[in-house]
Structure 1
């Protein structure tokens, strides 16, 4: 079985009761809301990753105002061609950020196609990835160790 580690950094940016989210095509093509952020490049610090990714996906420049925590997720995916299963481990560093410049725009030719401020109260009704819920819990609860008790998985 192939093993894959992906390290990424994401930002929770909340302003006036709204959270900044990006939209990405889901695995089945259905759009889903995600946190702005993404994978680290080799040699890149996660602090720099989150700032770069937020700008790429939303047009905004952010100041990182805190480290909320780390989420670790491990899943086994069935193989493709040649048939080969993958043991995927995602390590996601989640920061709090404040918009300090730039203008809202959409990413062109990237992993997302739209960015918007969403009401915090409406997030539960959005089609979203699990990481949005994890990050909001970290933002609300601010556990001193930066880790949540396991959230139930969908399906």
Structure 2
């Protein structure tokens, strides 16, 4: 569906070339609609050699075991999003230690998914009984008999067999940049 009205001022939009690409642009102000995007996050929380998984109670993926996660709110930093999602879905407290993997999925709504390595802090897995109906820490051997989603199987491999430290959170950047979520090698 094409954007018809400007989300900044409400005036009609038109298609015109912006930076060599046809884009919807406002006829009255400088607003340009750059596209439709969503940002998802996922948690890779390890405890005693096992990973935290949840069983989806809703579509998409109802009945599949996945890593906890969700979508970023507009004014929420991604590392805060994933910590919130883990706590909401499982009751587990965990803190981000780094970025473990990215998935780039261009489609009607371009989706970027960031998987975070997280350190377990406390709590026992308790499903929220809304988005997920089961939660727990599972070994690779236990996962063999479970209905684990294909993308989650890939993330499990990244988490347990990764050959890199990934991007680590930079809590003390050389230049203070308030409001930024910074990660570096």
Name the TM-score, length of structure 2 as normaliser: 0.62
Does structure 1 retain, via aligned residues, the 8 Å contact 2:50–2:138?
yes
Question: CA–CA distance in 1 between the matches of 2:122 and 2:48?
Answer: 16
Alignment check: 8 A CA contact 1:68 1:142 kept = no
Unaligned stretches of 5+ in structure 1?
Answer: 76-86, 147-155
Bigger CA radius of gyration: 2
- Greater fraction of residues in helix: 1
Report matched runs for 1:5-154 at 5 Å. Answer: 5-25=37-57, 27=59, 31-75=63-107, 87-109=108-130, 111-139=131-159, 140-142=161-163
What is the number of residues matched between the two proteins? 134
Higher RCO (C-alpha 8 Å, min separation 6): 1
Query: Which runs of no fewer than 5 residues in structure 2 stay unpaired?
Result: 3-34, 168-185
Normalised by the length of structure 1, the TM-score is 0.73
Give the Å deviation of 1:65. Answer: 1.8
